[in-house]
Chain A
């Protein structure tokens, strides 16, 4: 009896919803995020398949995703891969390696060492959070974690600059090495700023781009300054 009622109700409802197939979404409404939802019947299978696969495959898949994003940062084009599949692994790895390389001597030595690990870590994440909040308050359409992801990944050129600086410092620490380091750091700073601007500025209203770019400029400037003034013990 219940089944018959169900089918009867379904039959009565069909003409009501028949027109739904004609609805179409116009192309100029920007839709964010993944709108393809996996159909329920196949998701348990997919779940089991990623559970059963060897650990190496899982790790390699994540590593490949991170590597692809690194390439996107080094050659910034207007692709949306960085924004669509955000992840925070890359920024974490970059932040930790930069902080390790920037770490100075111990705190109670006669000559004060450089910034400590925690300092660099906090600066990078706190700075990224502030920039994200600022861009959201100015009316940006990008989400919180997407912005954090972009800002974190764009630290990559500066990490490369840090590596180069350390190698140059191994060779010597005179005026020539200072000039070389200055040029390298300035080039990488410009690259970082341009890369992050390419990704983030599009999400702002067009007349307010300068208001968003300035804090990003300041953020990378502070990091570049820490890299440039690093002296090996």
Chain B
């Protein structure tokens, strides 16, 4: 299936650097090292042979035995360590989850906005990680864009760190939490499927935030929040409902997921993007500077939200 040039096991074997397609310095160094080792081994073997022939008495015999045992232990330990290393550093474990075609990714992105109608038998969830991972990274990039254009000031930590932490924390944390709840409620879903489902649900978030970070209208954001956020939440909820039995369990699971998903979109909009009040008030001013520097601590959001909402109401009424 693959145009196989390299070997099947994609082991990140950094110490050996068996991709000696590298520079010639490594090649020469390795050759030299190998030759030296071979010489040493031959010398040892020769010495061992000589000692075999002579009878050195008990002391000599024990010394040689000890050396052999130590050598064997070293070899066994080395083999164990390299086996363990190749087991954990072997990224082939993740390979099946990345086996997708672009057209499949596109279809799944579009389907994540379409709630399914049939909830009587379990809906199929593709256990794929490429799409969700790319969506999380896209969300990070959009968040960065939003934070920069609103001059968000982060006191403890960095802009990039906050964006990555928020997005990955949401994806991994909420997936694990819902998976745990699903385990309690006897829902038929695996961890990878949950990761995939929630990841694709972030597509709605990406679209909403991308549009509303550039067009600063609160009413538009609320429309998108309900419309696009609602659609993607409905899809996730429908899929979960189709895989759960019992009314209470369905309620618990889907209520939690919808609450977390919708609240996350709300949080992303208001915590990381402050509408510059100057632009709203003086829409006719040609010399409004595009980026206004306003120092603001992130927890103190509610008053800013209240202020801007009141201002919008005053403007529109």
Q: A residues engaging B (CB < 8 A)?
A: 30-34, 37-38, 40, 43-44, 46-47, 65, 83-87, 110-112, 115-116, 119, 122-123, 130, 133-134, 136-139, 141, 143-146, 178, 205, 207-208, 210-211, 214-215, 218, 221-222, 225, 229
Contacts and interface: CB of A to CB of B under 8 A. Distances in A.
A208 B22 contact: no
Contacts of A136: 10, 91
B31 interface: yes
Contacts of A143: 6, 19, 21
Given A32-B19, A37-B31, A119-B160, A205 B137 contact: no
B145 interface: yes
Interface of B: 1-6, 10, 12, 14, 17, 19-24, 27-28, 31-32, 35, 91, 94-95, 98, 100-102, 105, 130, 133-134, 137-138, 141, 144-145, 148, 153-154, 158-161, 290, 293, 295
Nearest to A123: B160
Contacts of A229: 148
Given A43-B28, A119-B161, A139 B91 contact: no
Q: Which 7 A-B pairs have the closest CB atoms?
A: A33-B21, A143-B19, A141-B5, A137-B98, A112-B153, A139-B2, A210-B102
A225 B144 contact: yes
Nearest to A214: B134
A85 B28 contact: no
A122 B160 CA distance: 10
B10 to A, nearest CB: 5
A194 to B, nearest CB: 19
A146 B94 CA distance: 21
A139 B27 CA distance: 26
A123 to B, nearest CB: 6
Contact of B145 (A34, A83, A225): A225
A222 B141 contact: yes
Nearest to B133: A134
Contacts of B12: 144
B2 A205 contact: yes
A32 B18 CA distance: 11
A211 B19 contact: no
B101 A208 contact: yes
Given A137-B94, A207-B102, A208-B102, A115 B20 contact: no
A210 B105 CA distance: 11
26 contacts: A30-B3, A31-B5, A33-B22, A34-B20, A34-B24, A40-B31, A40-B35, A43-B28, A43-B31, A83-B21, A85-B24, A111-B293, A111-B295, A116-B158, A122-B160, A134-B133, A137-B94, A137-B98, A144-B14, A144-B19, A205-B2, A211-B100, A211-B102, A215-B137, A222-B141, A222-B144
Contacts of B138: 218
Given A136-B10, A208-B102, A221 B31 contact: no
Given A112-B154, A208-B101, A221-B141, A138 B6 contact: no
Contacts of A31: 5
B23 A86 contact: yes
A136 B13 CA distance: 14
B217 to A, nearest CB: 23
B95 A137 contact: yes
A210 B100 CA distance: 11
A40 B130 CA distance: 47
Nearest to A231: B291
A145 B21 CA distance: 10
Contacts of B21: 32-34, 83-84, 86, 143, 146
B6 A141 contact: yes
Given A33-B20, A84-B21, 16 more contacts: A47-B28, A86-B23, A115-B160, A116-B158, A123-B160, A130-B137, A134-B133, A137-B10, A137-B94, A141-B4, A143-B19, A144-B19, A178-B290, A211-B102, A218-B134, A218-B137
